[in-house]
Every structure is written in structure tokens, then in C-alpha cells.
Structure 1
Amino acid sequence: MNKQFFTSREAAQITGCSLRQLQYWREKEVVVPTIAGTGTGRSVYYSYSELVELKLMESWLAIGFSFDRSRMLLDKLRFYKDKFDYLNPETTDRVMFYWNPDWERLLLDPFERDRAIECLDQGLAVIPLWFDQIHHQLRLKLKYS
């Protein structure tokens, strides 16, 4: 992981996103890369942190979440970035989103197996996130790209 920035084409290859997705997400300000002016044109460059967010979006879409739901999950993660260091490649944090019917909102907490099973037994959705696995997947792609 010697490179600090990645072109759109590299970001697409590493994360599994299409170039059109990257462009759409830039336009919708979901994941906004570093953009550097170069002469008469513009070059788009993504940081490693932005690759993580792209991979999260791609993963949620791949399992069937809508664009709006995926964006909401990413926004919630960003809100809790001080609590969960999901952008740190060395993180071992494992978390879960789950619906709290008493508060009528989606919560994000450290993953607790018993709590997850309890939610599932109540018919509530649980969305586990293993940040170490996201980083591992990215490292593998970076190693071979």
C-alpha cells in the first residue's frame, strides 16, 4: 500500500465499483474524492479512506440494499467516526447496525453476538460490519493491482 492516491480506474478495479458508479457518487456527494486540477483538465484521485467508503457502498449494494439505504448507513458511520475507527487499516472493530423499535431508529453499536441473536429472534434486522475484513479485502486487491 505504497500509493497514497488512486485514479478513478484504479479505484473501480480495487473496490469492484463501476466507473459510472464512482461518477454518480461524486455527483451525489456520497464519496467525494480529492480532485486536482492538471492543466486544462481535471484528474480525480481517491485516498485509501475513500476506497474504504467505496467498498462499503459497493458491499451494501451487492447484498441488495438500495442506494438510499447504503448512503444512510455510510452517513451513520461517518457520524460515529470518533467512536468507530473504520478508516484505520489496523482496526479490529466489529460493529452492527440494528433497528431499535422503542426509539424507532437505526442504532450502531459494537458487535455483540447475544444482542444480534436477540434482535434476530425479535424479527429485527441486524447488519454486521467487520472492518478488519473490509481492510483485508482492500489490501489483497492493492497487492495484486
Structure 2
Amino acid sequence: MGEIFFTSKDAAKITGCTLRQLQYWREKGVIVPMVSATGTGRSVYYSRSELVELAVMVNLLSVGLTFESASGVLQQLREIEPNFAEEKSQRRLMLVFDTSEGMLRLKDFERESAIAFLDQGFPVIPVWVDEIYQKLDAQLLN
């Protein structure tokens, strides 16, 4: 059974992105879907794993991260869990400020550690991949 692909319009509707966001992210190389030349134009198709990545970006932007920060976090996620977008990850992570590098870093979510960061005045942003999957699955069923 072959993989199912989604048009840009479908991807936008499912993830809550705008078509312009999808185009911009594609141009910046953050999430690059399959592009096929057809006749006088070209068609863009997103795989299910790319929908997951889009949903992660939407989630990160919704909590106030800049595009640059969100795309950097997506890259970190790809590095620490290479198959997160292909397999239903149950991982719960948190973004915390790494003082040694001066940037946000993904770490496994641990309640005590999150509280310690908050007590020190550092932000903690949950990145619960399992919930992102649930929301995406709900949209796919609609």
C-alpha cells in the first residue's frame, strides 16, 4: 500500500497553516515537500510525515517562538529523534534556555527539572509530540 500525499491546500487546512507559510517554509528549506512538474505548472505534495513537521512548526509558533527559533527546534527534534515524523512518537519534551549556549534546547520532559528551571526564572515550553500527533489525527479524520 502506497503512501498518501496531500496537496498544499489540504496541508494548509489540516495543519492550520496558510498557503503563504507553506510556500515560505519550502523556500527556506525548513519543510520541503515533493514538487512535480505537471503541464504548465507544478504541483506540491506533502507526505504524512511532512504534515507532522508542519504541525510541530505551527505548535512552536503558537507559543510565541520566532520562525528562526521554531525551525531550529524542529531541526533539533529531527536530530534527537530522527523518526519522530514517521512513527507515532510518545515522547514528551520541553524547551529550556541553555545558558551555556544562550539558546533554547530540547530536553526530555521531567517535572522536577521543569520546576527548577522556572524557579530560576527561565522559560519552559512543553513540546509534547504525542499531543501534536493526536491533534493531527483528529484533523485527518475530519
Q: Same fold (TM over 0.5)?
A: yes
C-alpha distance in 1, partners of 2:140/2:48?
Answer: 10
In structure 2, list runs of 5 or more residues that go unmatched.
none
Q: Is the 8 A contact 2:8 2:19 kept in 1?
A: yes
Aligned residues: 141
What is the CA–CA distance in structure 1 between the aligned matches of 2:24 and 2:105, rounded to whole Å? Answer: 27
SS at match of 1:64: coil
Which of 94, 98, 101 is the matching residue for 2:99? 101
The structure 2 residue matched to 1:111, chosen from 98, 109, 112, is: 109
Identity of aligned residues (%): 48
Asked whether the 8 Å contact 2:95–2:105 carries over to 1, the reply is yes
Q: What is the one-letter code of the residue matched to 1:22?
A: L
Say whether the 8 Å CA contact 2:73–2:105 is kept in structure 1: no
Unaligned runs of 5+ in 1: none
Question: In the alignment, which residue of structure 2 is the partner of 1:40?
Answer: 40
Partner residue, 1:133? 131
Paired residue type of 2:140 = L
Q: TM-score of the superposition, structure 2-length normalised?
A: 0.89
Q: How many angstroms does 1:67 deviate by? A: 1.1
Over the residues paired in the alignment, what is the CA RMSD in angstroms? 1.8
Contact 2:16 2:58 in 1 (8 A): yes
Name the counterpart of 1:18. 18
Post-superposition Cα deviations, 1:21-79, rounded to whole Å, max 9, x if no partner, equal: 10111111111001122233211000111111111111222222211111111121122
CA contact (8 A) 2:73 2:106 kept: no
Q: Given that residues 90 and 130 in structure 2 are in contact (C-alpha distance below 8 angstroms), is that contact kept between their aligned partners in structure 1?
A: yes
**Partner letter of residue 35 of structure 1?**
V
Moved more, 96-105 or 3-12: 96-105
Structure 2 residue 51 is the aligned partner of structure 1 residue 51: yes
Q: How far has the Cα of 1:106 moved from its partner?
A: 3.2
